[in-house]
Structure 1
């Protein structure tokens, strides 16, 4: 039995925090500064975390390695299980040609790539986040952007940046439901509080996408549409989370924002750019493949039946996920769920209470990955795809994600080692000692948790209770601090090695995760700074009226 220690270095929480942060520092330096492949950087950071766990925290070596194996398993199931099946459905539509039809229908809304980026990366990505989450929107929207002529690197950057505001309500609000369980607070109240933070972020995300894609000129020419889309999303997310249903917040917001873009395009003819908007300048010069695509003759009009079949997979996905959210169906599916203790792993928290970390849940049918698999099987029927063709598409998906699979499993192993040994709790406890200033630092804790684990759900599991404890000590609102953990966590999603690996694999840039990281990290930190200011103001009389 290993009991966690919070201050193993000179009995000092501050010095211990510096040592505990080393695995993360190594990971981000290797990715951002040295541009090392994500899987290799993750394995090196994992080795550093194991060394610190064993020789600094005194964790028995077998316990440290077992924690790593549990993390790797969790990385595959349920996280990679979701992404693999989501990309499989996408690859089926590519193999049958229906994805090209879908791409053309999106292009018909507007031939302006800047508006296409908003519609696909932000609105459609939010819908995928609402249904599946866990990297699915980044994988699917990035390849959709490539199909429309975007450069791979820029497509990945746009998809990652857009995958922010919807994350807290992703996978039918799984992060917030989890936060409610670990904190004891009402998930409806927490969802309402998050719904008073992330909608403000949503207003600016489409503008940032245009800025990334086409600079200040793009913002100047398309800001009314971008702003209207962001405002529509934010308003819908706020209203739904506060007055209708927390799990449906992203579903409603994504559809409303997409309708807003279409409405503006229909009512107002946007100024089309004089030159093609190619992302990123010299680093992203058009490849012959994209140059050839740009010069193709206009494709013939698709029939109504073709369009219906192109949208059928996504209608099926929505239907499957909605049915699985019905209480009676969910209870029935939960009957197959098994919870087991990870063999040989025994951990006690620093407080002396048994840690829940060795508990592993096999939610076979309630996980979005299995539901996505069912949607894929129904898609095979709807598109009349044979078993052989579907299996080949699955094989293509596994090959496409091979390095991402290794990266995600290594990163989750790193996260579990840090969590089990106490490294992560050391960092959180040190930050929680900031007193009243913790209101400003609270989003950083959520950001850190998501950056490490790649999941806002995992970040809430990790730091949710700590946020409540810190709030009570500093006389702050527990609801505000717990919700802020989730709102801050959404901003760590774009820099998490897990998401970087998924994005790189989806666009065919394996090994260039560092390049993607360097292009998104500043936006992540800028958004985080804004969330810190908002949280600080909401903890004072200035905006305390926003706290339910």
Structure 2
């Protein structure tokens, strides 16, 4: 079959997801089973993938979906435990004490605390933790999920102590003679070369991520503000850029000086240590305090099963209220550092099946190593910490179980779809896998302009695979080879792959489903994906422009035009809309509603 037609057919699984979720606005639990069936039909009848290969890939996807559900269950159970104990009231009041401004709360909770969680655990955990926490603080559920997904970008390349770089890019390029030769020509070992790519990734992310806090609040006020305007978001530009710098500078320095393991982790911690005291002192803070409209004016689509409780006088100290999350972060780091044996101990409990159904696909799961296990353990510890009674904890357990059951159908079909798509390289016709064929077709059309496209390929991989790590494993070698073929720097192109793969986490289906489930708004995934496409496009366009300039230099070229256009656009927006008009947007009515 002609390569062009084959490429169009290979797009079918992706287009079906976009059609059902984004255009037709079907809930994921309805859209993903049908999209899975379409993918299986394409794999079987067009690619002629053997039945046992499809079955093995699907089973591998089911196991991965169960792992994601386990993580989400742990995050929701932890949140519900804090709700039932009363600790959540203290946490909410603590954020109100930093600032009652919802824009400031979103930046501190998502951008800084979320980046720390991403650096400690990765795998979509931050969105699953942050979304219900924001709802508890008083955000509409859909707003909470949206902002939690937006920060699934800059810190993601170094999530789970560097796994997307060390495992994703490392495994994707390992054992290849051309990669070894390139590293050697630069006077580097293979390991050092991978670390240098990680350093480039951090610089790209640092420049792009500088504006993500501002983008986050612009999106918040545009879609969920009473006036539906970006003006209110732009009025906190000083604080947003300050928070951006407080995270991205240490983030980039750590990546280039210490390696890929801790940029997001240390960036988040250092950022929190800088920004929270500054916020309390009023540095860079807006003159007005912004809040959502009264809950009676909220669009019903914004809310779900999880709602904020009435804010009562806290009876638990701030340290005691935050202690479970502190312990979770500490244990996640401790179990993921090779310096300590704890991670290896947890991995000893392993479910492993090699050559599943007679294929080369292996199934492996280490349930005790998953972040969900740690969160469940800390939840149980909280029973004694807060002296909870049996009824309180049973209520937390019941609420969490119901929420997970509602999210399960979508995940149990979306992840197997991804696995069938990726593993379509085993077929009777000798075709490349569907994602690789798509990437090859695109590269043949672009030539030296490939840096503009490379981040989008990474995002595509994350969208279909649900993971920056897997996207890097799938496409790093392809990106490296394409760069060699068109005569541009391979390491920089692979870095752009990793940057795009991180940004793609904003819209990857199982992240959206997991975060939505955690916030109690299952069935609105398509609406969220459409909203989050805006910051994703910013990320990919800016990354492509920066990559082009990094390779070809500044000059009269498309990369320079893109970079200058992005910077000029933010400058104009800030100058035009970023000035305060002295109007108080946080009214008594708003304040009352925020305490509900």
TM bin (shorter chain): 0.7 to 0.9
- In the TM superposition, 1:232-247 aligns within 5 A as 232-247=246-261
Equivalents in 2 of 1:533, 1:279: separation in Å? 42
Equivalents in 1 of 2:386, 2:338: separation in Å? 27
Give 2:51's match in structure 1, choosing from 61, 75, 83. Answer: 61
Give 1:98's match in structure 2, choosing from 87, 101, 106. Answer: 87
Give 1:229's match in structure 2, choosing from 240, 243, 249. Answer: 243
Alignment pair present for 1:32 and 2:39: no
Alignment pair present for 1:306 and 2:309: no
Which consecutive residues of structure 2, in runs of 5 or more, have no partner in the other structure? 175-189, 222-228, 425-432, 560-596
Query: SS at 2:317's partner residue?
Result: helix
What corresponds to 2:568 in structure 1? none
Query: SS at 1:46's partner residue?
Result: helix
Shift of 1:310: 0.7
Give 1:256's match in structure 2, choosing from 257, 262, 270. Answer: 270
Give 1:470's match in structure 2, choosing from 445, 468, 482. Answer: 482
- In the TM superposition, 1:192-207 aligns within 5 A as 192-207=199-214
Alignment pair present for 1:48 and 2:38: yes
Alignment pair present for 1:405 and 2:412: no
Shift of 1:282: 7.5
Query: SS at 1:361's partner residue?
Result: strand
Shift of 1:515: 1.6
- In the TM superposition, 1:48-447 aligns within 5 A as 48-77=38-67, 79-178=68-167, 179-184=169-174, 185-186=190-191, 187-214=194-221, 215-265=229-279, 266-268=281-283, 270-273=285-288, 276-278=291-293, 284=299, 299-300=312-313, 302=314, 306-324=317-335, 325-329=337-341, 330-337=343-350, 339-346=352-359, 358-385=361-388, 390=393, 392-421=395-424, 422-433=433-444, 434-447=446-459
TM-score (norm 1): 0.87
Equivalents in 2 of 1:229, 1:318: separation in Å? 21
Equivalents in 2 of 1:16, 1:496: separation in Å? 24
Shift of 1:334: 4.3
Equivalents in 2 of 1:338, 1:400: separation in Å? 26
- In the TM superposition, 1:468-547 aligns within 5 A as 468-542=480-554
Q: Answer with 377-386 or 508-517: which moved more.
A: 377-386
Shift of 1:338: 5.9
- Say if 1:151 and 1:284, in contact at 8 Å, map to a contact too: no
Equivalents in 1 of 2:294, 2:273: separation in Å? 25
Cα distance, 1:197–1:48 mapped onto 2, change above 3 Å: same
Equivalents in 1 of 2:234, 2:275: separation in Å? 17
Query: SS at 2:469's partner residue?
Result: helix
Shift of 1:260: 3.4
Provide Cα deviations, 1:483-505, integer angstroms capped at 9, x if missing partner. 22221012211212212212222
Equivalents in 2 of 1:70, 1:285: separation in Å? 37
Cα distance, 1:399–1:244 mapped onto 2, change above 3 Å: same
Cα distance, 1:335–1:223 mapped onto 2, change above 3 Å: same
Cα distance, 1:306–1:61 mapped onto 2, change above 3 Å: same
Shift of 1:55: 0.8
Equivalents in 1 of 2:546, 2:329: separation in Å? 33
Shift of 1:274: 6.5
Shift of 1:345: 4.5
Cα distance, 1:99–1:42 mapped onto 2, change above 3 Å: same
When the two chains are superposed, the root-mean-square deviation of aligned CA atoms in Å is 2.9
Equivalents in 1 of 2:127, 2:155: separation in Å? 12
Cα distance, 1:478–1:375 mapped onto 2, change above 3 Å: farther
- Say if 2:217 and 2:234, in contact at 8 Å, map to a contact too: no
Equivalents in 1 of 2:484, 2:294: separation in Å? 47
Shift of 1:284: 2.9
Provide Cα deviations, 1:93-125, integer angstroms capped at 9, x if missing partner. 122111221111111100111101111121111
Cα distance, 1:190–1:465 mapped onto 2, change above 3 Å: same
Equivalents in 2 of 1:269, 1:204: separation in Å? 16
- Say if 2:79 and 2:133, in contact at 8 Å, map to a contact too: no
What corresponds to 1:352 in structure 2? none
Q: Answer with 58-67 or 485-494: which moved more.
A: 58-67
What corresponds to 1:353 in structure 2? none
- The ranges of structure 1 where at least 4 consecutive aligned residues each deviate by more than 6 angstroms after the TM superposition are 279-283, 285-290
- Say if 2:112 and 2:272, in contact at 8 Å, map to a contact too: yes
Cα distance, 1:94–1:281 mapped onto 2, change above 3 Å: closer
Cα distance, 1:388–1:123 mapped onto 2, change above 3 Å: same
Cα distance, 1:337–1:289 mapped onto 2, change above 3 Å: closer
Equivalents in 2 of 1:282, 1:35: separation in Å? 23
Equivalents in 2 of 1:315, 1:279: separation in Å? 33
Provide Cα deviations, 1:401-435, integer angstroms capped at 9, x if missing partner. 22322222211111111111121221122234343
TM-score (norm 2): 0.80
Shift of 1:203: 0.6
Shift of 1:280: 12
Which consecutive residues of structure 1, in runs of 5 or more, have no partner in the other structure? 1-9, 348-357
Query: SS at 2:363's partner residue?
Result: strand
- Say if 1:415 and 1:453, in contact at 8 Å, map to a contact too: yes
Equivalents in 1 of 2:7, 2:304: separation in Å? 49
